[in-house]
Amino acid sequence: MYQWLSARKLKTCGATPGGPSIVGVDVTTQTIIQGVVLKAGNDGVPNGTPAGNAHVRLLDRDGEFTAEVPTNSQGQFRFFAAPGSWTLVVQAPGARVEKQIEALVGANPDIVFSL
Amino acid sequence: MSRDTSLVSADWVAENINNPQVVIVEVDEDTTLFEQGHVEGAITFHWRDDLQDGLIRDLISKEKFEALLSKSGISNDSTVVLYGGNNNWFATYAFWYFKVYGHTDVRLLDGGRKRWELDARPLVRDLAKRTATRYVAKERDNSIRAYRDEVIAAIGLLNIVDVRSPAEFSGELAAPAHLLQESGQIKGHIPTAKNIPWSKAANEDGTFKKDAELKEIYVGAGVDLAKDTIAYCRIGERSAFSWFVLHELLGVSNVKNYDGSWTEYGSLVGVPVAVGA
């Protein structure tokens, strides 16, 4: 199973890891799935360099496509989904990473991908 | 109406960037993408500002379409190549739009912007300059556009294909999950519609599957291709994608895109609605 990874505990040398700001989003009704895609350092740990050329795909519990967004220049992405099980697939030149998550109503913990 | 006349590869586009006969047009849902970088020589149409009437909910008029293409330097005999982000959703909508107004040679870049990016092909920020033309459009071809009354009349009789995600079809979500889940419309789908998500027709990189696989997706889900077919989604872009698959790649002539889609149907008073899978 996927373990939530706290973005705040990662070492950084560039952009601050974490999803886009949720200021102005109604967290009482929206199920917010968001995070950041970072390039891995030599030790395999995200080094804070954002991957601004990645595509993040959200699949439902049956593996069906639900949405897809490109990451922004900070490597961030965001979805408004519904409570339940989802799979995130990140595609970037030469890379493909998949994670399963459980989402609740509100702002779920940021998801960090390391390419 | 075949893969050979409607679809081009990234290699083909790369080879034709300087071909004066070819006009490359990017159409995105995220309209900031173009300015961040685009295929060399490409121009862009804004899906809302350029392609929606703005006062009433409709396509722009024939005269406005002619003015848009004229100022963009597109001639009646130009080969127009469309591409865009989000797996070509809005580019296929523009493709359908060009066909509604009778443009002869319009093609889609297979895989769109995503495949281009995943291949790490070059994107530029320079803006192309094109010489204005005098474009003359044809009258709207309503054989590829469905209106709400014919959709209601088609319930239980014709093929209605809901190409949204299963979560939208069932009523769990109101919109694709990259958008806020707003409740302007009720949730659900048109009764007797078959849920065949647009994404079934595409590979993960956004390119189309092979014709034999594509046909099986629709026929296998119970679409009788001898009957007329209406495709719909939320606002008509994803259904343009599925319309493109059926009408252009598979050459099925009796297919219409209902561009009013769920944002219209889900707002109508008194029409039947179904929920659940």
> What is B213-259 written as a DSSP string?
HHHHHHHHTT--TTS-EEEE-SSSHHHHHHHIIIIIIS--SSEEE-T
According to the model, what pLDDT value does residue A27 have? 87
Q: Alpha-carbon distance A46 to A63, whole Å?
A: 27
Q: DSSP string covering A24-64, please?
A: T--TTT-EEEEEEEEEE-TTSSEEEEE-TT-EEEEE-TTS-
According to the model, what pLDDT value does residue A69 have? 94
According to the model, what pLDDT value does residue A10 have? 44
The percentage of residues in chain A with a pLDDT greater than 70, rounded to a whole number, is 80
pLDDT digits (tens, 9 = 90+) for B48-87: 999 999 999 999 999 999 999 999 999 999 999 999 999 9
According to the model, what pLDDT value does residue A62 have? 94
According to the model, what pLDDT value does residue A43 have? 63
According to the model, what pLDDT value does residue A16 have? 54
> What interface predicted TM-score (ipTM) does this complex get?
0.86
B257 or A44, greater pLDDT: B257
Does A30 contact B205 at a Cβ distance shorter than 8 Å?
no
Residue A99, pLDDT > 60, answer yes
Query: What proportions of chain B, in percent to the nearest 5, are helix, strand and coil?
Result: 35, 15, 50
Q: Alpha-carbon distance B208 to B215, whole Å?
A: 12
Angle among Cα B24, B29, B35 to the nearest 5 degrees reads: 60
Task: Give mean pLDDT, residues B215-227.
Answer: 97
Q: Alpha-carbon distance A111 to A78, whole Å?
A: 10
Nearest residue on chain B to A62, alpha-carbon basis: B166
Mean pLDDT lowest among A45-54, B38-47, B128-137, B207-216:
A45-54
Q: Alpha-carbon distance B33 to B241, whole Å?
A: 20
List the one residue out of A87, A85, A80, A75 whose CA is nearest residue A114: A75
Q: In sequence order, which residues have a C-beta less than 8 Å from that of residue A54 and are 6 or more positions away?
A: A37, A70, A71, A75, A77, A90, A91, A92, A95, A113, A115
According to the model, what pLDDT value does residue B181 have? 87
- Banded model confidence at residue B201, pLDDT cuts 50, 70, 90: very high
- Banded model confidence at residue B30, pLDDT cuts 50, 70, 90: confident
According to the model, what pLDDT value does residue A1 have? 33
Chain B residues with beta carbon closer than 8 angstroms to that of A73? 36
Task: Give mean pLDDT, residues B120-137.
Answer: 96
Q: Are B247 and B140 in contact (CB under 8 A)?
A: no
Residue A41, pLDDT > 80, answer no
Dihedral over Cα of B112, B238, A97, B182: its sign = positive
Residue A52, pLDDT > 50, answer yes
- CB-nearest to B177 from A25, A29, A58 is A58
List the one residue out of A24, A27, A43 whose CA is nearest residue A80: A27
pLDDT digits (tens, 9 = 90+) for B234-248: 999 999 999 999 999
According to the model, what pLDDT value does residue B267 have? 95
- Banded model confidence at residue B43, pLDDT cuts 50, 70, 90: very high
The two three-digit tokens of residue B269, written as one number: 């008073």
- CB-nearest to B165 from A64, A89, A91 is A64
| Residues of chain B with a CB closer than 8 angstroms to some CB in chain A | 30, 33, 36, 85-87, 114, 117-120, 165-167, 172-173, 175-181, 197, 199, 204-205
Rg of chain A over Cα atoms, rounded to whole angstroms, equals 13
Q: Alpha-carbon distance B242 to B257, whole Å?
A: 9
What is residue A101's DSSP assignment? E
- For chain A, the average pLDDT equals 83
